[in-house]
Amino acid sequence: MTKTGEVLAKMKWSHQNHFTAKVKIKDLRQLKEIHNTIFIAINGKRFHPLYQSEKANDQRKVLLTFNTKGHAIVLRRNAVKNLSFGNLPKLKIYNPWHKFKIDAAQKLAPIYKLFNRNQNLNVYFEKEASKAVESGKYVFEAAACNKKFKSKNVFILDKASPQYKGMKKKWGDKVVERFSFRNYLYVFAADYFISSELSNHVVNTRIFDDKLNRKIKMTPLYFLQHGVTFLKPRDDSKNVGFHKSNMTNNIVKSVVSSDVEASIFHDMGYNDFELMKTGMPKFDNAHLEKGADKITYMPTWRPWEEAEVFNGHIEETTYYQSIMEVIEAFEKAGLLSRLQIAAHNKFSQYAKNHFNKYNDIFVEDPTDTLKNSVIYITDISSIIFDAINHGAFPIFYWKEFEDIIAKHGGTTPANRENVPGVVADDENELVEAVKSAINNDFKLPPKVLENYRRINEFHDNQNTQRVIDELVNDGVLQRK
């Protein structure tokens, strides 16, 4: 049975030391949790976790993967060697044809490197290789268009991405389709990853394939960051995987935007040699479009509610409830026509049938809201720094602030005195803060601007060039 008490199969003993248990695939598709440790049970009570004996001499971490009716079923050994069933959304890499391509790419990568041994292969990507809107795109384009570099620079991008056609037309074979053979080949052949996300995003957020995982984790990563690190808790190394002591990715250097942000990285175990104080490339030349008048709410993602979302219990999550509270408050205040919701993609892809008449105010890609939002509202999402950089008025909606911080683990340096924005503690204060910003023509209070400049020191539109200079100095970008 699982930890939550779901019975998977009855054990049939063949003799004293051996038993079999046949688990039905349809039952695995019904598992409520994403990861489910398997337990032996007696009379309906958990007795002992099931684990694979070292006598089996099996070095694999992933024992079985397959797709079934929209689900991916994974049997693996977890961090403490216990066996666990995973019930996740289906993914192409678990199809037989893709498993074949992955095996072939691994075998051919050494031959590729032999014929290109004097040329670095730099692989760029963004979130789940599905976007081209973050710093990864800007650094890639700056490197790819510079004819003085001999390094090979390629960008991995899903064909379904809204940016795919434009990027492919502009850069040709330097843009590589996600899940293609070249995607897998370039993972195995890569000298460096350069990305706004951690290394696994070169294929997918979660990857249960031992071959891919080994190479992904060992490849040096220049981490451009998805957002400025300040708001979310980072100090509890037991709960936060980005601490150096917990890091499984080979991060060479990370972009930071100020001494304040650098000090947070120091607290997580990183030294000055592992930081690039350059500012975020995506912040260069960012501004609001003419006629911008939208008000955007983007609550930070709550990973502890992911299983409930995936399994259809969206309306029971605090994430859903927070969004509905804001929608209803804006509707009551007569501001609904200006409101748009930028929900996390892990939520929005399952939420279409749950908001009924409000569906049209949801924006599929949060980056689309940055150019048309004169007011931006969040709890602790780093996107607020992007919004301020574009010219939006920032509001922090902290009705659930303490609970969110506690469940993320640790503490945050953010407080009412140092955050770059106005703080609202409930729906009424939020609406009043919005009306005040509108009445004052969205002008930032001096204290808000001062706090922002302390956390993001750069505003000269040269962040991308500073990153390029770092890559040249480190030999990642090779001159001819």
Domain spans in the chain, listed from the N-terminal domain onward: 12-90, 96-284+463-473, 294-455
Distance CA 413, CA 130 (A): 32
- pLDDT for res 64: 97
pLDDT at 236: 66
How confident is residue 241, by pLDDT bands cut at 50, 70 and 90?
Answer: low
* pLDDT beyond 60 at 313: yes
What does the pLDDT read at residue 130?
95
Between CA 456 and CA 387, with CA 397 as vertex, the angle to 5 degrees is: 35
Instruction: In whole angstroms, give the CA distance from residue 278 to residue 472.
Output: 14
Residues 173-197: what's their mean pLDDT? 98
Q: Report the range of poorest mean pLDDT among 90-99, 311-320, 394-403.
A: 311-320
Nearest to 347 by CA among 296, 311, 374, 385: 311
Q: What are phi and psi of 352, to 5 degrees?
A: -55, -35
pLDDT tens per residue across span 156-183: 999 999 999 999 999 999 999 999 999 9
Of 261-270, 358-367, 448-457, the one with minimum mean pLDDT is: 358-367
User: Quick one: pLDDT at residue 238?
Assistant: 62
Residues 6+ apart with CB under 8 A from 273: 253
pLDDT at 191 over 90: yes
Q: What is the mean pLDDT of residues 421-430?
A: 96
Q: Are 2 and 8 in contact (CB under 8 A)?
A: yes
Would you say residue 239 has pLDDT above 60? no
224 pLDDT more than 60:
yes
Asked if 245 contacts 236 with a C-beta cutoff of 8 angstroms, the reply is: no
Q: Which residue has the higher pLDDT, 310 or 463?
A: 463
**β-bridge partners, 155:** 124, 175
What is the model's pLDDT at position 390?
96
Identify whether the C-beta of residue 325 lies closer than 8 Å to the C-beta of residue 294. Answer: no
Superfamily of domain 96-284+463-473, CATH level 4: CDP-glycerol glycerophosphotransferase, N-terminal domain (3.40.50.11820)
More confident: 350 or 80: 80
What confidence score (pLDDT) does residue 474 get? 97
The model's confidence at residue 243, banded by pLDDT at 50, 70 and 90, is confident
| Neighbouring C-alpha atoms within 13 Å toward the C-beta of 373 | 32
Name residue 73's beta-bridge partners: 66, 87
User: How far apart are the C-alpha atoms of 39 and 97, rounded to whole Å?
Assistant: 33
Instruction: Write down the pLDDT at residue 348.
Output: 76
Global pTM value: 0.91
What confidence score (pLDDT) does residue 367 get?
A: 87
Q: Which residues contact residue 252 at a Cβ distance below 8 angstroms, ignoring those fewer than 6 apart?
A: 192, 220, 221, 222, 274, 474
Q: Which residues contact 334 (CB under 8 A, 6 or more apart)?
A: none
**Over residues 279-308, mean pLDDT:** 93
Q: Does the structure show a pLDDT above 80 at 363? A: yes
Residue 299 corresponds to which amino acid?
P
Measured between alpha carbons, how far is 119 from 141 in angstroms, rounded to an integer? 18
> What pLDDT, in 10s, does the model give residues 457-467?
999 999 999 99
- Which amino acid makes up residue 75? L
What band does 345 get if pLDDT is binned at 50, 70 and 90? confident
Q: Which residue has tokens 């999550």?
A: 317
d(CA 408, CA 435): 31
Confidence of residue 304 (pLDDT cuts 50, 70, 90): confident
Instruction: Reduce the secondary structure of the chain to three states and give it as a string.
Output: CECCCCCCCCCEEEECCEEECCCCHHHHCCCCCCEEEEEEEECCEEEEECECCHHHCCCCCEEEEEEECCEEEEEEECCCCEEEEEEEECCHHHCHHHHHHHHHHHHHHHHHHHHCCCCCEEEEECHHHCCCCCHHHHHHHHHHCCCCECCEEEEEECCCCCCHHHHHHHHHHHEEECCCHHHHHHHHHCCEEEECCCHHHHCCCCCCCHHHHHHHHHCEEEECCCCCCCCCCCCCCCCCCCCCCCCCCEEEEEEECCHHHHHHHHHCCCCHHHEEECCCHHHCCCCCCCCCCEEEECCCCCHHHHHHHHCCCHHHCHHHHHHHHHHHHHHHCCCHHHEEECCCHHHHCCCCCCCHHHHHHECCCHHHHCCCEEEEEECCCCHHHHHHHHCCEEEEECCCHHHHHHHHCCCCCCCCCCCCCEEECCHHHHHHHHHHHHHCCCCCCHHHHHHHHHHCCCCCCCHHHHHHHHHHHCCCCCEC
Q: Given this structure, which CATH class describes domain 294-455?
A: alpha beta
C-alpha 228/C-alpha 234 separation (Å) is 13
- CB-based burial of residue 468 (10 Å sphere; 0-12 exposed, 13-18 middle, 19+ buried)? buried
Comparing 48-57, 95-104, 206-215, 434-443, the range with the smallest average pLDDT is 48-57
Among residues 461, 471, 469, 288, which one has the least CA distance to residue 388?
A: 288
Measured at the CA of 330, the angle between CA 338 and CA 300, to 5 degrees, comes to 85
Res. 350: pLDDT tops 90: no
Q: What is the mean pLDDT of residues 1-10?
A: 92
Mean pLDDT confidence for 282-306: 93
Q: How many residues does the chain have?
A: 480
Using pLDDT thresholds of 50, 70 and 90, give the confidence band for residue 71: very high
Q: Give the pLDDT score at 31.
A: 92
One fold for both 96-284+463-473 and 294-455? yes
- The arithmetic mean of pLDDT across residues 89-107, rounded, is 97
Task: Report percent pLDDT > 90 for the chain.
Answer: 80
Mean pLDDT of the chain: 93
- The pLDDT score that the predictor gives to residue 355 is 83
9-18, 111-120, 458-467: least confident range: 9-18
